[in-house]
Amino acid sequence: MNALVIDVFEFCRLKERREGEVAVADLPRLASEVAGDSGVIAWSLQGGSDQSGHPRLLLEISGVVKLSCQRCLGSLDFAISSSAKLVIAIDEEEADRIDEVLADDDTDVIVGTKTLLIADLIEDEALLSIPASVKHDLCPDAESAAVDALKKPSAFAVLKDLKR
């Protein structure tokens, strides 16, 4: 991904919109957390302002990453689909003030900059979307073991035959 850098305050003031795709391999923190660095994250970023007039970003991401199953340690595809509302503050003090009066728990407050890397926002949101522990509904090895168990006669059936 090209290092897309925006002046977040101008981006919001002009209500700009950008979208694209980024390879998981180009997001080093995310790539270190997943089972393989294959995959692509689609994203869109919309600038604007909230009802109080503060600059606001709307970020949406989606894609599929490979994670390790905690049961069988095999890889599994995990679909990421997330959106974030980010109110932009000038500094930490303003961020704290906005956060105190913000009535929306789904909105985060961040300190803005004139050189914000969009990739950092995408990577942060993707990392927040990944669960700490993930498992297959039915692990591939467990599935074959279940099929094998169905093929084998029950231990009780064998004992029943011995009784005759």
41-77 residues labelled b (16+ CB within 10 A) or e (exposed): bebebbbeebeeebbbbebbbbbebbbbbeeeeeebe
- The answer to whether the CB of 24 falls within 8 A of the CB of 31 is yes
Residue 99 clears pLDDT 60, i.e. is over it:
yes
**What tokens appear for 60 in the block?**
């949406």
Contact 118, 126 (CB under 8 A): no
Q: What is the pLDDT of residue 142?
A: 58
Determine the pLDDT at residue 37: 82
Average pLDDT, the chain: 87
Confidence band, pLDDT 50/70/90 cuts, at residue 155: low
Question: Quick check: 17 pLDDT over 90?
Answer: yes
Higher pLDDT, 1 or 17: 17
Query: Which residue type, as a one-letter code, is found at position 109?
Result: V
DSSP letter at 136 equals -
DSSP codes, 78-94: EEEEEEEEEEEESSHHH
Angle CA 6–123–107, to nearest 5:
75
Q: How much is the average pLDDT of 56-64?
A: 97
**Domain layout of the chain by residue ranges:** 5-136
Each residue of 121-150: b (16+ CB within 10 Å) or e? bbbbbbeebeeeeeebeebeeeeeeeeeee
Q: Is the pLDDT of residue 1 over 60?
A: no
Over residues 35-53, the pLDDT tens digits come to: 888 899 999 999 999 988 9
In the prediction, which pLDDT does 164 show? 63
**pLDDT of 131 higher than 80:** yes
Give the count of beta carbons closer than 10 Å to the beta carbon of residue 81: 11
Residue 157 is predicted with a pLDDT of: 67
Check pLDDT > 90 for residue 152.
no
